[in-house]
Structure 1
């Protein structure tokens, strides 16, 4: 009980610093995921129209997932230096695969009859994309975005090793000092942040999912 109280006191004393690091953490992750969405969703749509390239593009994105995050951070330092930019770039690469893959799978899994119905109503290709395909694929696409975001919140802790800040500062300080209070003061907010953001994205997904799909999933 005393140890728990000590941790609570420790967090209470350093709350402003923890809050500032949490904001840095959200900035790093948010920028990386946003860039991954801006590139990954269009690429995922594009490869549904160019299926021969789908395997190669998804495979290339998969390579970045297989590389250890610490090694990837180290590889970009000679080209981008340290700080926010290389951290965002590495996390962007990690976020790409789930978004590209889920966008591709989501659109490919649409019943062809729904697309033909759109064509029968006189819709053009861009209208079918935005009024039929994307709305129907949205739950799967959002699943990829949620996966990317949660993974990146955890991976972003390593970014503190290259001077990007974030909650990893407390975690690595705790490891170097053999101080569990520092470690937990970084790890607990990171976990809560991941759960909170995932919940908000899930709520957003529910709000923008077409009513017909909500009924089909309930």
Structure 2
């Protein structure tokens, strides 16, 4: 996955609580195992009418939020089913950071595994960033993972915390597969030792 160090971009305000994964990407779009192409159906039932026409008052259908890289959301974001397609859809749209007072555990973990940084802040801090995001003139902010701060338009900063191991993985672009491949030499050595000590396990391979 791509590294996450600093991210500067438009933050889109979504002041809704309990946004579940079916709202993020409805169940009818879960037939694919590809991670690409899902951005066009992100928040499908909120963004589009059944005819396919855009719903004008939804934030991601408005300028400049069509280009949003950050999402400011309400409490308990990502609740509902555990579908990994939800972070896939966010990432494919271009959103690499979600800021909210709290997240559902499985969604929170899936974000880190896919290169998205979920940031949990106090409600008052989220409210401040939400107000920034609502105004296109102040909606651009920078998320600095190394320093663990969010830079607002007025040069004020909002600190955040993140687990050190997850931070390491994001900074270095390491997903679960990449972490495993870092142990490739040890895995190969173990397999060779096993071939020698337990050859019957490898007889038909």
Whether TM-score is above 0.5 comes out as: no
- The two structures have a TM-score, normalised by structure 1, of 0.29
Could you say which structure has the higher strand fraction? Answer: 2
Could you say which structure has the higher helix fraction? Answer: 1
- The two structures have a TM-score, normalised by structure 2, of 0.30
